[in-house]
Amino acid sequence: MDDVVDVLVIGAGPVGLTMAIALRRLLLRVRIVDQAAGPNHEARADVIFPRAGEALGALGVGETIRRHAYEMRSVNFYGNGRQLGCFTAGRFDSDYPYAMTIEQHDIELLLTEELSGLGVDVEWRTEAIDVRQRDDHVLTTLRLSNGVIQLAPAAWVVACDGRRSTVRTRLGIGFDGKRRTNMQVVQGNAVPAWALRDRPGHGYIFLGSRCTVLAFPTPGQGYRIFCIRDDPEPDRTEPPTLDELRDLVGTAAGIPHLRLGPTESGWLSRARFSDRIATEFRRGRVFLAGDAAHAWAPVGGHGMNIGMLGAHNLAWKLAAVHHRQASDTLLDSYDVEQRAIARAVIRDMKFNITEILLPEPLHRLRNVFLRAALPWSGFQRRVEWLMSDFGRGHRDSPLSRQESRRIGCLCRAGDRIPDIFVARGAGEQPIRLHQLLGYDRWTLLLTVARAEPAIVRRLQQACAGYAAAIDIVPIAAMDRSSARHLTSVHHVTLVRPDGHVGLVAPLDRLDALRDYLATFLVPRDPGSDRAVR
């Protein structure tokens, strides 16, 4: 079927656009459709955390996002109008050490422009109304902008069509979970008139009894103000007024005469949420991603980020299988890995003490705790690690194999490989480790001290014969602290295209490397010119 595209992406939100860009980077033919009339103009999500920033950087769009965003350097905490302390960020090695605040519609605009530069334009006013699988392709029924019904064949379909996913519904996939009771989110963009200092990259969190208010400067929109509060009137659904938002902020912040001015967008929202996870993320040749696969209350602001990381997780696997570089079992790991992360985020955010709703006695205890804990660097480091998503790995994935327990290393199979500074040899300039990785290839790391020609030759022989690209890269840590994140001189580390460790194995156990590669990768066609480097 000559008219079959490689992948049809349904939904042109941040997750769908990230997916389409990743697939195009990997040379797949992509079509992306959305039933909306055009790009979204509502504010919605507005933060990209460091790990999602790294993923976008690997896809070539991270710097574009950063140029249009504010990097969040600090947050001042207040309880009952009194300052509790200040949280600062940027402790961890990364090209993207700070969360970036930028409105979702601006993210979508930038991603849409990037995708267009890769030769793919979003087809707006195009609704997916049915999906049927065949042995070697998926047939999706589309309703075009002119009302014409079109049958669209594709080798694969990725549904990024939101919480009310048509694709998920048509396939009969469950969406298990329940609604968060006695919680509503009131938010909007506004310009506050207060005595507090206004600086890009520096925000505020105001803690009150049964209400938490977050206020962060956002480019071009004053402040994004996000209020998590109780829900005394569950049937009240109309958007809040600016006065209601002002009263919530003024009460939590202890600023009784606060004034809020409107922004150009005038966006205000009242919403209630459920925590839900689809019973399957993969059904044959169809995949669910983003809110179509998992959705939860926006406590912590990780929904869009985890969706983008899911796209980053899936795209390289889909491309590898489609290009016959990897076995189909690689695709099953997407469900295992992304489901575990979704469950972990829902669990972790229920214990996010800065945003959960507390009665007055517990709220006072929280204030006491934060006043004592915020000056402590260990507490700040732990919070930043959790919010960055750097620690959300895949240790329990079938793709993660730890062949040695005594490696003297903080990074294990399934973890994100740290972005520390390394050298490629004596006298070489230091370079960030992530710059040596590639989204289109696997990377086998070993220490420079063991990179003798005979050892490198044996590693090349072990990796030879596979269609997937595998780089063999000798590295050396720049100091003792960095060395703790690398395996010992007696081990090799195989890093997946998405920057997570697949295998840690002893150098004298090349059978472990061979077995791992044989399990997931496909032998190279003898006529191919693909080579191990």
* Residue range of the domain that includes 191: 184-272+358-388
Token pair of 17 as six digits: 């656009």
Q: CA-CA distance, 145 to 167, in Å (whole number)? A: 19
CATH number, domain with residue 256:
3.30.70.2450
- 529 has pLDDT over 60: no
Q: Same domain for 116 and 261?
A: no
Instruction: Answer yes or no: is 241 within a domain.
Output: yes
In sequence order, which residues have a C-beta less than 8 Å from that of residue 455 and are 6 or more positions away? Answer: 446, 507
Q: What is the mean pLDDT of residues 459-467?
A: 94
**Which of these, 151, 114, 146, lies nearest to 132 by C-alpha position?**
151
Summary mean pLDDT of the chain: 93
- 96 has pLDDT over 70: yes
User: Under DSSP, is residue 111 helix (H, G, I), strand (E, B) or coil?
Assistant: helix
Q: Same domain for 216 and 157?
A: no
In terms of DSSP H, where are the helices of 300-376? 303-322, 329-349, 360-373
- 2 has pLDDT over 70: no
Q: For 195-245, how does the pLDDT look when each residue is reduced to its tens digit (9 = 90+)?
A: 999 999 999 999 998 899 999 999 987 999 999 999 989 999 999 999 999
Q: Name the pLDDT band for 532 (thresholds 50, 70, 90).
A: low
Q: Same domain for 327 and 342?
A: yes
Q: CA-CA distance, 459 to 455, in Å (whole number)? A: 6
Q: Same domain for 265 and 284?
A: no
- 142 has pLDDT over 50: yes
- Which residue has tokens 């689809």? 278
pLDDT greater at residue 238 or residue 487: 238
Q: Name the pLDDT band for 1 (thresholds 50, 70, 90).
A: very low
Q: Same domain for 165 and 256?
A: no
Q: What is the mean pLDDT of residues 263-280?
A: 90
Query: How many domains are contained in the chain?
Result: 3
For residue 238, the tally of other CB atoms under 10 A from its CB is 7
pLDDT of residue 221: 74
Q: Same domain for 192 and 238?
A: yes
Q: Same domain for 238 and 373?
A: yes
Q: Name the pLDDT band for 266 (thresholds 50, 70, 90).
A: confident
Q: CA-CA distance, 100 to 201, in Å (whole number)? A: 8
Q: Same domain for 254 and 370?
A: yes
Percent of the chain with pLDDT over 70: 97
Q: For 319-343, how does the pLDDT look when each residue is reduced to its tens digit (9 = 90+)?
A: 999 999 999 999 999 999 999 999 9
Instruction: Answer yes or no: is 107 within a domain.
Output: yes
- 41 has pLDDT over 80: no
Instruction: Answer yes or no: is 75 within a domain.
Output: no
DSSP 527: T
Q: CA-CA distance, 309 to 315, in Å (whole number)? A: 10
Q: Same domain for 331 and 469?
A: no
CATH number, domain with residue 132:
3.50.50.60
CATH number, domain with residue 514:
3.40.30.120
Judged by phi (left if over 0) then psi (alpha if -120 to 50, else beta), residue 515 lies in alpha
Q: Angle, nearest 10°, between helix axes 453-463 and 510-520?
A: 30
- 463 has pLDDT over 50: yes
In sequence order, which residues have a C-beta less than 8 Å from that of residue 218 and are 6 or more positions away? Answer: 46, 70, 101, 102, 103, 189, 224
User: Under DSSP, is residue 74 helix (H, G, I), strand (E, B) or coil?
Assistant: strand
Q: CA-CA distance, 490 to 507, in Å (whole number)? A: 6
Q: Same domain for 217 and 325?
A: no
Single pTM value for the model: 0.95
pLDDT of residue 52: 98
pLDDT of residue 533: 59
Q: Name the pLDDT band for 484 (thresholds 50, 70, 90).
A: confident
pLDDT of residue 401: 95
Q: CA-CA distance, 431 to 423, in Å (whole number)? A: 6
Sign, CA torsion 2/312/57/427: negative
Q: Same domain for 445 and 462?
A: yes
Instruction: Answer yes or no: is 395 within a domain.
Output: no
Instruction: Answer yes or no: is 77 within a domain.
Output: no
Instruction: Answer yes or no: is 342 within a domain.
Output: yes
Instruction: Answer yes or no: is 80 within a domain.
Output: no
Q: CA-CA distance, 299 to 352, in Å (whole number)? A: 8
Q: Same domain for 158 and 303?
A: yes
- 530 has pLDDT over 60: no
- 466 has pLDDT over 90: yes
Which amino acid type is present at position 337?
Answer: E
Which amino acid type is present at position 489?
Answer: V
Beta-strand ranges (E) seen in 80-126 are 82-88, 100-101
Q: Name the pLDDT band for 45 (thresholds 50, 70, 90).
A: confident
pLDDT greater at residue 263 or residue 87: 87
Q: For 410-433, how does the pLDDT look when each residue is reduced to its tens digit (9 = 90+)?
A: 789 999 999 999 998 777 889 999
Q: Name the pLDDT band for 59 (thresholds 50, 70, 90).
A: very high
pLDDT-wise least confident of 7-16, 89-98, 163-172, 351-360 = 351-360
Question: Which residues in 308-328 are b (16+ Cβ under 10 Å) and which e?
Answer: bbbbbbbbbbbbbbbeebbee
User: Under DSSP, is residue 146 helix (H, G, I), strand (E, B) or coil?
Assistant: coil
